[in-house]
Amino acid sequence: MSEKKGKKESRDEDIELSEATEKRIDSLPEHAQHIFKKAHSSAIKEYKDPDKRRGGAKDDLEEVAHKVAWAAVKKEYKKNGDKWVKK
Q: What is the dihedral of CA 35, 11, 13, 36, to 10 degrees?
A: 20
pTM: 0.76
Higher pLDDT, 8 or 62: 62
Spatial separation of the C-alpha atoms in residues 52 and 7, rounded to whole Å:
26
3-state helix, strand, coil in the chain (%, to 5): 55, 20, 30
Pairing of strands 83-86, 77-80: antiparallel
Which tens digit of pLDDT belongs to each residue from 55-85?
877 788 889 999 999 999 999 999 999 999 9
| Mean pLDDT of the region 34-44 | 95
Main-chain dihedrals φ then ψ at residue 51, nearest 5 degrees:
-65, -20
